[in-house]
């Protein structure tokens, strides 16, 4: 099985058979088109490159109008023309097995997943700008009493005489968020193939309408619990 690209719609809750409320993230996954099939003979490894077909969804269920991007450079246009597909804005590559049967032009939709499957969702976390060590790394800070003058500082960052330098990797203030994050082993609660919707339990990184990649979980077993 490969993976699929999509967008984060938002969060809601679904009630299980026992009446318990399950917090879920709604993803509009696909449809995606296969742009290139990479093999060991030609590329040295087995993978499939897919592009997200974006468009407008109508009022009627299953009504979808694809929309090609406006600006495509010549190199990328030739890459899509070789596959015989319309250009897409988003491309991603997923590793597959040697027995994975697909060719350029094939469509991959949300039906590759089913309820109770475990998936990994990859996205870009929300950017929070330049932050100090307390918010960025969870430092406790100094005493809050009056006159301490040491409230939100990081403390010692190394010795002064030997080795007289700051070691690489020292946790310090800096850019927080806006990085690639993978949420692992999320359970698929519901699949709506007609509307290309995927409901996964829990939260995923990124803001609403941000792009995500969804793939079968690399680690973990299928859960039987809600």
Long-range (24+ apart) CB contacts under 8 A made by 102-107 are 102/2, 102/34, 102/37, 102/48, 103/34, 103/37, 104/34, 104/35, 104/36, 104/37, 105/33, 105/34, 106/33, 106/34, 107/31, 107/32, 107/33, 107/34
> When comparing pLDDT for 20 and 219, which is higher?
20
> Within 10 Å of residue 51's Cβ, how many Cβ atoms?
24
Classify 215 as helix, strand or coil: strand
b/e per residue, 16-39, with b = 16+ CB within 10 A?
Answer: eeeeeebebbbbbbbbbbbbbbbe
Residue 57 has pLDDT above 80, yes or no: no
Q: Return mean pLDDT, the chain.
A: 86
Q: Tell me, what's the pLDDT at 223?
A: 47
pLDDT digits over 27-36, tens only? 998 788 888 8
Q: Tell me, what's the pLDDT at 220?
A: 65
Torsion of CA 206, 182, 191, 193, to 10 degrees: 80
Q: Tell me, what's the pLDDT at 59?
A: 62
Residue with tokens 């090609």: 68
Long-range (24+ apart) CB contacts under 8 A made by 220-225 are 220/118, 220/184, 220/185, 221/118, 222/116, 222/117, 222/118, 223/116, 223/118, 223/187, 224/116
Residue 61 has pLDDT above 70, yes or no: no
Q: Tell me, what's the pLDDT at 136?
A: 93
Residue 225 has pLDDT above 50, yes or no: no
What's the average model confidence in pLDDT over 60-73? 73
pLDDT digits over 112-148, tens only? 888 888 999 999 999 999 999 999 999 998 888 888 8
Range list for CATH 2.40.30.10 in the chain: 4-127+179-216
Residue 160 has pLDDT above 70, yes or no: yes
Residue 226 has pLDDT above 50, yes or no: no
Minimum mean pLDDT range among 17-31, 72-86, 128-142, 210-224? 210-224
The pTM assigned to this predicted structure is 0.79
CATH number, domain 4-127+179-216, options 2.40.30.10, 3.40.50.150, 3.90.79.10, 1.10.3720.10: 2.40.30.10
């Amino acid at each position: 099985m490969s993976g699929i690209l999509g967008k984060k719609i938002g969060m809601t809750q679904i009630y299980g058979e026992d009446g318990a409320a399950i917090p879920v993230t709604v993803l509009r996954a696909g449809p995606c088109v296969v742009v290139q099939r990479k093999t060991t003979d030609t590329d040295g490894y087995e993978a499939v490159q897919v592009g997200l077909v974006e468009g407008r969804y109508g009022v009627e269920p299953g009504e979808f109008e694809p929309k090609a991007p406006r600006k495509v450079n010549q190199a990328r246009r030739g890459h899509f023309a070789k596959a015989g597909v319309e250009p897409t804005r988003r491309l991603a590559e997923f590793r597959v097995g040697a027995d994975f049967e697909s060719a350029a032009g094939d469509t991959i939709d949300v039906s590759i997943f089913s309820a109770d499957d475990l998936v990994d969702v990859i996205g870009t976390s929300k950017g929070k700008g330049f932050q100090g060590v307390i918010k960025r790394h969870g430092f406790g800070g100094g005493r809050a009493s009056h006159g301490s003058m040491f409230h939100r500082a990081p403390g010692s960052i190394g010795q002064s005489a030997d080795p007289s330098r700051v070691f690489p990797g020292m946790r310090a203030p800096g850019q927080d968020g806006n990085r690639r994050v993978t949420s692992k082993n999320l359970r698929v609660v519901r699949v709506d193939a007609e509307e290309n919707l995927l409901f996964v339990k829990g939260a995923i990184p990124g803001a609403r309408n941000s792009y995500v990649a969804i793939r079968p979980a690399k680690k973990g077993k299928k859960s039987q619990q809600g």
